[in-house]
Amino acid sequence: MQYKVGEKVSNSTQMLKGLLEGCILKIVSNGETYGYEVCEKLINYGFEDISEGSVYPILIRLEKKKLLYSVMKKSPLGPMRKYYYLTEEGRYELNEFINTWNIVKRNVKNVLED
């Protein structure tokens, strides 16, 4: 496969899609949180190009998969907020993500260090 000058071998946006679900599950596993707070935490962890427009659809998808559930609560600063929590299925999925990530990370490290 040939690449044009300046073309990336991988599209980081595509790679992030799968990883973000696992990262969001981990963030929610630390305690109740709402969408904007998830965005802030991802940015603080170094995902600087993340926007609410990419996080909210993932939260909705995870809720549809029954990995998260949500509760509307009063916000200390205005309108009601949707707070997210991990389900038992979500805990299982998070553990699977961590195990898979550790295997992938080890294998990529092995290749890059060869």
Q: How many CB atoms lie within 10 A of CB 39?
A: 21
Q: Please give the model's pTM, rounded to 2 decimal places.
A: 0.84
Report pLDDT for 1.
Answer: 44
Q: What is the mean pLDDT of residues 82-104?
A: 96
pLDDT digits (tens, 9 = 90+) for 52-89: 888 999 999 999 999 999 999 988 888 899 999 999 99
**CATH fold group of domain 12-113:** Arc Repressor Mutant, subunit A (1.10.10)
- The domain segmentation of the chain, as residue ranges, is 12-113
Report pLDDT for 61.
Answer: 95
Torsion of CA 101, 91, 85, 36, to 10 degrees: 0
Please state the φ and ψ torsions of residue 37, each to the nearest 5 degrees: -65, -35
